[in-house]
Structure 1
Amino acid sequence: MNIALAPDGAALAWTEQGRGEPLLLIAGQATAMDGWGPTAEALAEHFRVIRFDHRGIGRSSDGAADRYTTRSLAADAAAVLTAAGAESAHVYGHSMGGRIAQWLAIDHPQRVRALVLAATSGGKLAGAEPSRDAMEALVSGDADRLAPLFFDPVWAAAHPDAVRVFFNSRASAWAKSRHFRASREHDAWSRLASVQSPTLILHGAEDPLTPLENAVRMHGHIRRSTLVRVPGAGHGLHLDRPETIQWIRQFITARAAL
């Protein structure tokens, strides 16, 4: 395990595996780097995979309370890249991690080679917000209530360890509440047109936490973007849809050839 220092001095735990071009994984709200599980393992067969614990999560320290915004968390991600000796990397963000990745591409365009955004949004979007039941499940933090919103039940039954690790990140109530607020207050709609990186948007057609219209709208804002709608997928398609790994490889390879 390695440590990167955030701009305010917070200690950010990070690790790496595999060889090849660097690929930074940015986890979702209150989710530790271990939650990438089998996806990180599969991607490490083709890339140098770098992942980290957000401030307040897992093995990272809390840091300053005013640094819990998606834009500040993007500065944390940039600090991890610096500590890893990666001037630039492909960046894959899931859910709140996708919100953070947007700011990384906006504020540090030279550091993002290709951008992958999964199950995420540019901010609040009227008519395309989670249902009341989905929000109540999210706020509860109850894994039994959340799992059906994220994962195909057949996949979840076959991968109980991955599901358990994903939903059991070590974090205080203080940190979880700040992550929740950071994600809910994210608003990058007016800046997405400035994203220069070729962008792959992956989104489940049945995502109850971030309805598909969010991805459609992002696709309209990000000029060099490709949108892939995944039929039947929910919010956790970065884990339960292994075919997305091949799509990411193909996207990055195609863009590298340009």
Structure 2
Amino acid sequence: MSHVIAADGTRLWYDVLGEGEPLLLFNGQALDHEMWDGVHTGLARRHRVVRTDFRGTGGSDAPLGEPYSLELFARDALAVLDHLGIGRAHVYGFSMGGKVAQTLASLAPERVGALVLGSTAPGGDHEVERPRSATLALRQAGTAAGRELIGPLFYTPDWAAAHPDTVTRVLPRGPLRAQRLHFGASTGYDGWDLLPGITAPTLVVHGEDDELTPVGNAELLAERIPGARLLTLPGMRHGYPHEAEPEATRAVLEFLAEHGLTERGLTDQPLRA
């Protein structure tokens, strides 16, 4: 188990798998690194994959005294990259992690190679709202009935029934107060004005039948980010990285290969003071 210390003293968990150009993964709201289990091994066939837990989840500390923000999460991620000596990395953000990825690409564009935004949204008034039933399910996801509520929102019923361990990995974890801080950080985000300034090559990936984050959000992101590419997966819901694997992983790997750091005249060498 490895940790880096953030600027405010918070311990942040991370691990690294594979070799190649670095790829930083961002988890969904109140989820930890285990949500990438299986998916990250496929990505690690070609990349040095870095998983990290946002504060309040998994192996990271959960300070509860102050509100969380997506900029705070992005700065925590930079602390992980700095600790590993990675000057520039590709970034793949899922759900709320996709909003953190947007924030990082705006906050520190020199640190981001290519950007993959999965099952995510622009936030603010422009975000296409989820159905009320999905919001109620999300709010109850940390209860004993969470599996029954969240599973069908992430996956088709038959797939969810056949993969109960995967469903468990997408249930919120950590202190309830930290889960609420994550919810507040995500719902308080408005990236609309940031999106036109994103310079990283961007792939937007989304399940066509996603109710947690309706697919209209993917279309908004692809239209708003200059040159962004949109991949919509028919029949998939919020949890496409698992259910549509290996198709989704292959598409991500091909996109990253197309926009390699060295091919763009960039490197992942450590930054120098």
Q: Are 2:127 and 2:217, in contact at CA under 8 Å, matched by a contact in 1?
A: no
> Paired residue for 2:269?
none
> Paired residue for 2:218?
215
> Paired residue for 2:184?
181
Find the aligned partners of 1:97 and 1:155 in 2 and give their Cα distance: 24
| Residue 16 of structure 2 corresponds to residue 13 of structure 1 | no
The verdict on how the C-alpha distance between 1:177 and 1:67 changes in structure 2, with shifts beyond 3 A counting, is closer
The verdict on how the C-alpha distance between 1:41 and 1:128 changes in structure 2, with shifts beyond 3 A counting, is same
Q: How does 1:106-255 map to 2 (within 5 A)?
A: 106-125=106-125, 128-141=128-141, 142-167=146-171, 169=173, 171-242=174-245, 243-255=247-259
- Deviation of 1:83 (Å): 1.5
Identity level (%): 39
SS class of match (2:170): helix
> Paired residue for 1:29?
29
CA RMSD of aligned residues (A): 1.5
SS class of match (2:124): coil
- Deviation of 1:158 (Å): 3.4
SS class of match (1:66): coil
Q: Which runs of 5+ in 1 are unaligned?
A: none
Q: Are 1:38 and 1:162, in contact at CA under 8 Å, matched by a contact in 2?
A: no
> Paired residue for 1:54?
54
Find the aligned partners of 2:127 and 2:168 in 1 and give their Cα distance: 32
- Deviation of 1:162 (Å): 2.2
Q: Are 1:125 and 1:214, in contact at CA under 8 Å, matched by a contact in 2?
A: no
- Deviation of 1:127 (Å): 7.5
SS class of match (2:61): coil
Q: Are 2:126 and 2:192, in contact at CA under 8 Å, matched by a contact in 1?
A: no
Q: How does 1:65-144 map to 2 (within 5 A)?
A: 65-66=65-66, 68-125=68-125, 128-141=128-141, 142-144=146-148
Q: Return the structure number with greater helix share.
A: 1
- Deviation of 1:177 (Å): 0.3
**Runs ≥4 in structure 1, deviation > 6 angstroms?**
none
Find the aligned partners of 2:106 and 2:215 in 1 and give their Cα distance: 23
- Deviation of 1:152 (Å): 2.4
Find the aligned partners of 2:236 and 2:202 in 1 and give their Cα distance: 20
- Deviation of 1:216 (Å): 0.9
- Deviation of 1:153 (Å): 2.8
Find the aligned partners of 2:96 and 2:172 in 1 and give their Cα distance: 17
- Deviation of 1:254 (Å): 1.2
Find the aligned partners of 1:241 and 1:56 in 2 and give their Cα distance: 29
The verdict on how the C-alpha distance between 1:245 and 1:129 changes in structure 2, with shifts beyond 3 A counting, is same
Find the aligned partners of 2:45 and 2:90 in 1 and give their Cα distance: 15
- Deviation of 1:65 (Å): 3.9
